[in-house]
Chains A and B, each alone.
Chain A
């Protein structure tokens, strides 16, 4: 029964993906994978975490169809791996679920084969001998027959003609291999496997820090002294830096791209160094018994202050980046800076939580990877090419049209509307016209497997008349 399900799934896999681009097929594949996982692991799908990941996976599948961006495809693949890992062990950390998910997806079949061989060694041994005999029975005569055919071909022209007429073109070997790949993939995820060593360690490791039985008060005092001095000096230094930065921000009134760019990038480099050092220092001092030391209030307060001041630094760079965007519009790099700043802020908040709630470093890793996953899903909701184009056309005082033209075809309709409403130079106008024409042709020439939401939109809007105009 299992094999019949897998064969049906693998044929569907080939129908969906063989010689096709990504589109509706990935969304259908996601539903198919969910069905296969749910059928073979029904009891696991009663778990709330697994249900939650299933919903996220289905949501990313819908995003692939609606947005059709590289980010939505990446989010869908990571959601798939997470779901498979969650079916393996839902209580483990998300990065262990990724580890289990990747492992299951790529070699689950081989792992199960190895485990089954150990459980039913005797039974398998018997089968192996039969299989080996069968392989010899077919393989050895086949090799000799092929070898002799090649020899005789050169000795007799009539024999050569007959052999040359044998034609295997009716067999589509590529399609068969693709179907085998589908079978292998579905067979891997049919009953997900677990990496015991990593999963067990993860399940046994809690988030809370425990006080060691042997701790020297004298050593802790010295460490506290060192930490207090270091953090105090670093706080003074960062306050001084922030004051000078605020002065520089309020006095510099340049609108030159190079000045604004240099301000943002230098600020980012400073921030990267500052945040990494801040987190390492805090993690070092609060790695063990200093968390439970009665006289650690000063050190904790200094750490909180430093985290807060680093957050101020994040805010200052965000302001510089905002100025840059306000003058020259959005680009991927500028959005990337904002995302990095947001992630940094989250990193600082989780470090603050680690110190205040006396958590260990695993807590930081666990919570931050989970947040990264959620953010990836949230960011994939946006069609960034379209949003960048729309924002820049409507708000940017200085529009870099060539940058927008070089983005993916997701902004082609928007750019074409802009072309019609504005007087552009001939070169840019032609490039937008070509881009839009390519987009319409690509969308119209898609097979049903490659359909996206843009196909539906195109049918529903007046673009159909444009298509006719182009075809004429």
Chain B
């Protein structure tokens, strides 16, 4: 899978989770939100791209070689990444006093990065 398509899929996933969590709150479902849902794809795409390019891609770029496959990178570094990411997200949610906007943002960010790792690690195995 190419990085661009991974970012695209991640953005759609992040947007879906973000809005589902947000709409589950007291705000409720409102038709007026629909345009904002589509518009929110732009910032979500930018955030996803930055997060993936800064925190996930370098791990594969720097560590992948003939002796170290993507699968091995996943098994070694994914646990560390995911525990740090969860710690960070929980800390931010706690600091925001469980504000629904922050909660939606960090829940979607966490799940998206985790799924993005799986997509990245999966890709190369098919190509090999």
List chain A positions with a Cβ less than 8 A from chain B: 99, 102-103, 106-107, 110-111, 113-114, 117-118, 121, 125, 146-147, 149-150, 153, 163-164, 168-169, 173-174, 176-177, 195-198
Q: Please tell me if B65 contacts chain A, counting CB pairs below 8 Å.
A: no
- Which chain B positions have C-beta within 8 A of A177? 20-21, 24
Chain B contributes a number of interface residues (CB within 8 A of A) equal to: 28
Q: Is the CB of B122 within 8 A of A114?
A: yes
**Cβ of B71 under 8 Å from chain A:** yes
A99, B118: Cβ atoms under 8 Å? Answer: no
* A150 vs B32: C-alpha distance when bound (angstroms): 8
The residues of B that contact A110 with a CB separation of less than 8 Å are 114-115, 117-118
Flag whether B60 is at the interface (Cβ < 8 A). Answer: no
In the bound complex, CA of A257 to CA of B115 (Å) = 56
CB-CB under 8 A for A106 and B31, given A174-B24, A195-B75: no
Chain B residues with CB under 8 Å of A149's CB are 31, 34
Query: B83 touching A103 by the CB < 8 A rule?
Result: yes
- Asked whether A168 lies within 8 Å of B79 as measured between CB atoms, the reply is no
Give chain B residues whose Cβ lies under 8 Å from the Cβ of A117: 118, 122, 125
Q: Which residues of B contact A146 (CB under 8 A)?
A: 34
The answer, yes or no, to whether B2 is at the interface (CB within 8 Å) is no
Instruction: Please provide the 10 A-B residue pairs with the shortest distance between their CB atoms, ordered closest to farther.
Output: A173-B24, A174-B24, A150-B34, A197-B76, A103-B79, A168-B29, A195-B79, A114-B118, A107-B82, A177-B24
CB distance from A171 to the nearest CB of B (A): 9
Tell whether, in the assembled complex, residue A106 and residue B122 are in contact, meaning their CB atoms are under 8 Å apart.
Answer: no
A468 to B117, CA, bound (A): 59
A107-B114, A177-B20 known; A150-B31 Cβ under 8 A: yes
Contacts of A174 in B (CB 8 A): 24-25
Let me know if B23 is at the binding interface, CB within 8 A: yes
Q: Is the Cβ of B122 less than 8 Å from the Cβ of A99? A: no
For the complex formed, measure the closest distance between the CB of A202 and the CB atoms of chain B, giving whole angstroms: 14
Of all chain A residues, the one with the shortest Cβ separation from B122 is A117
Task: List residues of chain A with CB within 8 A of the CB of B35.
Answer: 150
24 A-B pairs whose Cβ atoms sit less than 8 Å apart in the complex:
A99-B79, A103-B82, A107-B79, A107-B82, A110-B114, A113-B118, A114-B118, A114-B122, A121-B126, A125-B126, A149-B31, A149-B34, A150-B34, A153-B31, A164-B31, A168-B28, A169-B28, A173-B20, A173-B23, A176-B24, A177-B21, A177-B24, A197-B76, A198-B79
List, in ascending order, chain A residues with CB within 8 A of B47's CB. Answer: none
Q: What does the 1/0 interface line of B10-35 toward A look like (CB < 8 Å)?
A: 00000000001101110011010011
Contacts of B21 in A (CB 8 A): 177
Q: Report the bound CA distance from A164 to B31 in whole Å.
A: 8
Known contacts being A107-B82, A149-B31, A173-B20, is A121 close to B115, with CB within 8 Å? no
